[in-house]
A and B are shown apart, each in its own frame.
Chain A
Amino acid sequence: MDYSIINLGHGSGGLMSRELLDNIIFKSFSNPYLDKKHDGSIVKIEGEIAISTDSFVVSPIFFKGGNIGELAVNGTVNDVAMCGAMPKYLSLAFIVEEGLPIKEFIEIVNSIKSTADKCGVQIITGDTKVVERGKGDKIFINTTGFGEVHPKANISAENIKVGDKIIVNGNIAQHGMAIMSQREGLEFESSIESDTTNLNFIASKLLDEFGEDVHLFRDATRGGIASVLNEIALDTNKGVSILENQFPLEKQVAAACEILGLDPLYVANEGVFIAIVEKSIAQNVIDVMRADDKGKNAMCMGEITDTHLKKVVMHSAIGGKRIVSPLIGEQLPRIC
């Protein structure tokens, strides 16, 4: 291709669009479904289907530990996995801002391909649109995932009982702090990397082992752990009780949060999920998680209670208590 940047022609539907598709997209994602180059694909899925869609608008598009393409695959794959399903297929739609270097576009596409391979999903349909300069922010990606529900899964907030344990798989607040450290005006030196990763295999392993005793999976992306726990408290009309020292937090991330005046509980993650499980299997769940690369730092961070209904309460390290309230808007850095 003779172009160094994406221009409006690449979204025209004409020859330039075709070139972009043939040389980059079809070449990269080649599979029997996509190779038919039809308007859509016809696929086989056994039993119940879990479907989830998500749009990705992160800035910067390349960050320590990943890029927007990797995020777009892992994010949707994880959402399907959190339904108790094994993701099989993905749709993939780009909205590209005129001026994006082709080189960067190719890098994103390559990373989507390698991430999809890691997750074991195929891209089966897609779309590419180009918008004028200033009408987007380099590149937006939407993906929709389709997965087969695990035969032993019964994931629903309705199954959550008082006494259930809340298990978290790994270090929190990595992704948000990695992005923050590279945002214009906030740059600070750190080696914090995004935790973006796929959780479908670890989730399915837990379902193989524990089936219906796993009551809920939730990945804690935007709004962090605090937002997920608040939603659970509200949805179940029960209380959530957590302990301040009982969640995995890397030292460097803790320090960065401290300096910027941010609460790690509200910071975004891309590879962290919580499992709410029957009390009696909590330790076994932690053991299974820890045996997996994606759950090395797993720990029990709290439990479901019949007190302080609809509220999340944290027991502080010094023996006090406080409410972990839902986030109102974006978490704002404090002045001093």
Chain B
Amino acid sequence: MKYLTEYRNLEATKHYLDLIAKKVTKTWKIMEICGGQTHSLVRNGILDLLPEKVQMIHGPGCPVCVTPLNLIDKAVKLLEKGVIVCSFGDMIRVPGSKKSLLEAKADGGDLRILYSPLEAVKIAKQNPTKEVVFFAVGFETTAPANALSVLHAQKENITNYSILVSHVLVPPAMEAILDDEFCNIDAFLGAGHVCAIMGYEEYFPLVKKYNIPIIITGFEPLDLVQGIYMAVCQLEEGREELENQYSRVVKREGNTAAIKVIQQVFKVGNREWRGIGEIPNSGYIITEAFKAYDAELKFQIEDITAPESSMCIAGEILRGIKKPFECPAFGKTCNPSNPLGAPMVSSEGACAAYYHFSSNEII
């Protein structure tokens, strides 16, 4: 419980906000990578407390937002075929090209919302005559549990279980953002929980190659303002280093047991990111040894290609080029009950965070 109070302490947070205000002389654009950080920044009203010269740019770290349209369509197809599809909660309202998982459920599909993929293995065991698929989306953070579910299924000889994988990785996404010709980002707040799993070794080359400060940062208000302060210090002092604000959770080598589990089941491969496109070596695919658990191979569903809404600027939002308020559809034709794109659905999506927690008109 002390994490809920100490890291949300008014005086301590104010102290860092004051330090930031004193330190900053130029305008800096800092991108927080993770959607959880975006959510916390907006939910706690931090954006309004920062000096005008410190501009937060919201990154692509919302797993729901970057899961490609055709994989949602595939999950919908599986539901229509009578497969039990299990998913994390905030995936189910994301629009596919025809319908969302929630709409497919209303049409009679057997959709289960779970917190852990291990529950899906249990469901497979209880329903031996049915196929059970877990929609394994997420960054490095959810990969160990998803991989573990496959290892459990194998150990218990459960053959009616498989996973529909859309795993993406943070470092390649950062590189893609930095390579973008419109990129104007001066520093990154690294995704704390991703680094809790993977460590931060792989970020040193990025700092060096792009001369950009990266601060591995947590999610509580105090974490965020401290991370922002560390970034501002580096920028003002002309340093480009990797620093770890979230040292109470993140170790340099990460969680070695979790990494081992990931490496058993997954290998790095190309992945498509919704709104961004294909990024080479930017995600996980199932290794040869575990291909029996790959739902895409098991069910051979055809690729469904459908265009995204032409009004949605999700790609520019996810790459930090535009903010939700700059989208003509924001809050008008696009809102959480009728989303045009995924960032309006997940609570970690920049558009939904802005829609729910802030408004440029009134506060």
Say which residue of A258, A318, A323, A336 sits within 8 Å of B193 (CB atoms).
A336
Q: How far is the CA of A334 from the CA of B193 in the complex (A)?
A: 14
Contact A320 B49 (CB under 8 A): yes
Size bin of chain A's contact surface: 20 to 34
**Which single residue of chain A is at the shortest CB-CB distance from B91?**
A335
Contact B337 A329, beta carbon cutoff 8 Å: yes
The answer to whether the Cβ of A308 comes within 8 Å of any Cβ in the partner chain is yes
How many chain B residues touch A (Cβ–Cβ < 8 Å)? 53
Shortest CB distance A85–B (Å): 34
Using A260-B115, A323-B356 as known contacts, say yes or no to A335 and B90 having CB atoms under 8 A apart: yes
B49 (CB) vs chain A CBs: closest residue: A320
Cross-chain pair count, CB within 8 angstroms:
121
Whether, in the assembled complex, A255 has its beta carbon less than 8 Å from a beta carbon of chain B, the answer is yes
Provide the residues of chain A in CB contact with B64, threshold 8 Å. 335
Q: How far is the CB of A57 from chain B (nearest CB, A)?
A: 16
Q: A320-B48, A333-B115, A335-B63 are in contact. Are A325 and B355 (CB under 8 A)?
A: yes
- Beta-carbon contact of A316 and B89 below 8 Å: no
Chain A, range 181-217, C-beta contacts under 8 Å to B? 184-186
**Quick check: is B359 within 8 A (CB to CB) of the other chain?**
yes
CB < 8 Å: which of B88, B119, B362 contacts A311? B362
Are the C-beta atoms of A255 and B13 separated by less than 8 Å? no
A residues at B contact (CB < 8 Å):
184-186, 251, 254-255, 258, 260-261, 307-308, 311, 313, 315-323, 325, 328-329, 332-336
Q: Which of A258, A316, A318, A320 contacts B4 (CB 8 A)?
A: A258
Whether, in the assembled complex, B348 has its beta carbon less than 8 Å from a beta carbon of chain A, the answer is yes
Is B14 interfacial (CB 8 A cutoff)? yes
Q: Would you call B256 an interface residue if the criterion is a C-beta within 8 Å of the partner chain's C-beta atoms?
A: no
Whether the pair A318, B115 counts as a contact (CB closer than 8 A) is no
Query: A318-B44, A325-B357, A336-B141 known; 10 other A-B pairs, CB under 8 Å?
Result: A186-B113, A186-B114, A318-B8, A318-B9, A321-B45, A322-B43, A322-B363, A334-B36, A334-B346, A335-B346
The residues of B that contact A332 with a CB separation of less than 8 Å are 89-90, 92-93, 113, 347
Complex: A319 Cα to B221 Cα, angstroms: 11
The 4 A-B pairs at the shortest CB distance, nearest first, are namely: A320-B45, A333-B89, A332-B89, A318-B13
Does B304 belong to the interface (CB within 8 Å)? no
**How far in angstroms is the closest Cβ of chain B from A322?**
4
Q: Which residues of B, 90-146, contact A by the 8 Å Cβ criterion?
A: 90-93, 102, 112-115, 119, 123, 137-139, 141-142
